[in-house]
Structure formats: structure tokens, C-alpha cells
A and B are shown apart, each in its own frame.
Chain A
Amino acid sequence: MTSLDPIVLFFIFGLTAGILRSELRLPPAIYEGLTVLLLISIGLKGGIELAKQPFAELVGPIFTVMLMGFLLPLVAYPVLLYVGRFKRPDAASIAAHYGSVSVGTFAVAVAYLSSQDINYESYMSLMVVILEVPAILVGIILARGISRETRWGRLSHEILLGKGVVLLVGGMLIGWVAGPEGVEPIAPLFFDLFKAILALFLLEMGLIAASQVSSLRRYGLFLVGFGILFPLFSAVVGGWLGLMLGMSTGGTMMLATLAASGSYIAVPAAMRLTVPEANPTLSISVSLGVTFPFNIVVGIPLYLQFANWLHSL
């Protein structure tokens, strides 16, 4: 029943309308607003659950996931450099995109698991925040070494106080402090409407992804192949780590999804500032035009099957 989920249909709708060059567009302010709602919803949900968990149990997963964030770009980089024959800054920038995460993909995975009544570890939204950072650092160092020209102060401000991280962490803290009963009055907007908000968000994402297709044509098959095969590899790494950490099936699937997703907001902005010689269209078009659609339509159900298979071993 997976492909019939309405939110996925909204994405395909947007993608199709975009490819057919329809005039359809959500106003930018609405798209921004939807993003804010999604990030806060995910944060709140995570925060409420996190309050039930002793912090000591989180230390192992946090370090493991952080390590994954450092390692994935280190695997992607040589592939892009030697097989894809990209220039060093381009290879480093694309690698950074794939070590980081996409909150949109995470949101779809959350909706997918809830529609199947599968539970997952509550600290997953914390992992989204944790995975934002390491890949960006690896990308910068791969592109230019540890250079004094990099404005580290401005950069850390940009990464740690970027909209995504601030909204997720803020939502988490509010959920944590207020608890399940405290959040009840605002639940209709943030929880009950979550899927509707996500559907509209995905409609716009479909339109945006379609606008990347034309630039993909210029860069050829290697990027398309990379945008599908590398996430599959990452999902195997993420799923295996989830199993090693003793996560539930839902948690294993979530970690596989997070590993497989590629950033299209935080990393592009950071890379543009720190590695300006990298071509931003390359990384954005593969992350948004190939990997995001692949994960939404094919990847997420696949990662659940994979997690099921891992747990049946």
C-alpha cells in the first residue's frame, strides 16, 4: 500500500506539475511557514518522548551517529574524486551534502512509520540535529584543509544558529519542559495536522525538485547513479549501526533513512560561504533532484523492509 500514501502522491503531483512546466507555485512565505511548522512539530514530538528517557542511555547512540556523520563523507569523497572525476572542491561539497541529513525526508519517514503503527526510538529527532554538523566540517577540511581563511566564528554561528537547528532544538526543549499534557492545547495544529502540512510541503518540494532536473541533464549519468547508489550504501551503514546499537525495527529504519538522506538547506548555505569555488548547482541538483525523490518514493519503504530483514537475522 506504500505508494498510495497521499503525502507521497502530493510529492509526485508537484514533481509532475513541475516537469510539465506548470505555473503552479506556493508563495515563498507559505513554504517558509510550512517548514517552520514541520520543524517545530518534529522537535516537540521528540522533546516529549525524550523527557521519558534517562540521558545516560543517549550517550552511546549520540557518539555513534556523530561518527557516522564524519565517516560517510569520507567514503563519498574518493568515489566522487576518482570515479566521478570531479574537481576537489566539488567532490568535497557533494560529499558533505551526503553526510548530512534532510529534515523533509525524516518527516516523511515519521509519517510513514506512524501510518504503519511502528514505534521508533524517541531520540531520533535529536539525531537529526547531531547529524547536521559533522559532515559540513569534513567537507570544508576535504576541500581546503584547515585554513585560516575560513571564518570559523561566522561559520559556527551559521550552522548552530541556522533556522533548522534552532527550530528543532527549540521545539524539543518546549516539548521536554511542557510534557505531554502541557502540549495538549497546541497539539491540534502541530500533531493532528502534521500529515496535511507535510503534504503541502511535499507539493512544493516536488516543484522545486523538478526545477533541478534540467541542470541534471548537463551533468550526466554519473551524478544520477551516485544520487541513488550512495544513499543505498549509506542506508546499509545506518541500518547496521542501528542494529548494533540495539535499536528497534523502527529505529533501525529511521537511522538508515537519516544516513541515506542528503542535505539541501544547511549544507548548501555553509558550502557556498566556505568553499565558494565549488559549483553549487552540482550538489543541489543531485541531492534535491535525485536523492530526495528517490528516498521519498522508493527509499523509505525499502529501508523498512531492510530493517525488518536485519532484525530477522
Chain B
Amino acid sequence: MSTATTRKLVTIITESALEHNLVDDFGRLGARGYTITNARGKGHRGVRDADWSTSSNIRVEVICGEQVAETIVAYLQKHYYKDYAMIIFMTDVEVMRSKKF
């Protein structure tokens, strides 16, 4: 039974300080849901090891239509890229219940 539809998965890895801001942004930009997990790693802003609240990272995943995905990515790039540690990448995913996203 193949009812799968293609959607975009936008993954954002950034500073946990931004969590509340991002959640606000997603609502306004049309995402219907998101998943946030704590993350650790290393990038050009150094090791972010979650030892201390200011050095902890989150990984945010949003599944949405292509247009919303592009709006989100453009918005985040404009507002946060300059001053915050932030990585964004996008992939296609197959979802079963397309109405949810």
C-alpha cells in the first residue's frame, strides 16, 4: 500500500538559546510541527559540548511542503546566520500521512 508523498525535511542545528525564537518563527512561517533534540558536536565556532547552558546545541527538525521549507530557510539565513552558530540542511522525505505536514 503505497500512499507515500514527498515532503521536505529541514534540519537545523543551532544554539539552544534560540529555541523559543525558532518555535515562534515556525508558527508564523507556516510549519505545522517540529521536533527538537539536544545535540553535541564541533563546528567552526568550536566544540559545543552542552557542558554549560551557553554552549549547548539543539537539533530542530521540521517536515513541511517545499514552499514553507524555502520560506523558513530564507528567514533563518537572514536573521540568524550572521551572529549565531547555525547549520541548515534539507532533504526529501517520504511521509505516510501527507495531511499532517
Contacts and interface: CB of A to CB of B under 8 A. Distances in A.
29 contacts: A25-B51, A28-B50, A151-B21, A154-B20, A154-B21, A154-B24, A158-B20, A208-B51, A208-B52, A211-B51, A211-B52, A265-B53, A268-B54, A269-B17, A269-B53, A272-B15, A272-B17, A272-B54, A273-B17, A273-B18, A273-B21, A276-B80, A276-B82, A276-B83, A277-B82, A277-B83, A280-B54, A284-B52, A284-B54
Interface of B: 15, 17-18, 20-21, 24, 50-54, 80, 82-84
A28 to B, nearest CB: 8
B44 to A, nearest CB: 14
Contacts of B83: 276-277
Given A211-B52, A273-B21, A276-B83, 7 more contacts: A25-B51, A208-B52, A211-B51, A269-B53, A269-B54, A276-B84, A277-B82
Contacts of A158: 20
Nearest to A28: B50
A154 B82 CA distance: 21
A273 B51 CA distance: 19
A265 B17 CA distance: 12
Contacts of B17: 269, 272-273
Interface in A259-298: 265, 268-269, 272-273, 276-277, 280, 284
A251 to B, nearest CB: 31
Closest 8 CB pairs of A and B: A276-B83, A272-B17, A268-B54, A277-B83, A280-B54, A284-B54, A208-B52, A276-B84
Nearest to A284: B54
A77 B7 CA distance: 50
With most chain B CB atoms within 10 A of its CB, the pick from A28, A154, A265 is A28
A307 B83 CA distance: 43
Nearest to B15: A272
B20 to A, nearest CB: 7
Nearest to B50: A28
A291 to B, nearest CB: 16
Contacts of B82: 276-277
A154 B23 CA distance: 12
A77 to B, nearest CB: 20
B42 to A, nearest CB: 15
A272 B86 CA distance: 14
Nearest to A283: B54
